[in-house]
Amino acid sequence: VTNTLNVQNNDLKNLQIKIFNVLGVEVGVQLTSKKENIVDMRRFPQGTYMVNITDTKTLKSIQKLVVKL
């Protein structure tokens, strides 16, 4: 990732997108129900981040590691 992280939400669910730094500190959060979502990563320094995407209705979540270049 350089400037933006794209998150697809094909089922139009209510999602919470959280970004954590390597220390586990939450550095960003975004709520959305749009099909296509862009997370602005320009404000974050280079490094590794954990992205947690949670369906706010079912509380099911996925986690992905993202490297900011």
Residue 29, CA distances (Å) to 11, 15, 55, 65, 68 in order: 20, 10, 13, 16, 17
- The single-letter code of the amino acid at 1 is V
For the stretch 4-54, pLDDT in tens is 999 999 999 999 999 999 999 999 999 999 999 999 999 999 999 999 999
Provide the whole-model pTM: 0.89
Q: Region 55-66: what's the mean pLDDT? A: 96
Residue 49, CA distances (Å) to 2, 16, 35, 39, 65 in order: 12, 16, 23, 13, 6
CB-CB contact of 45 with 19 (8 Å): no
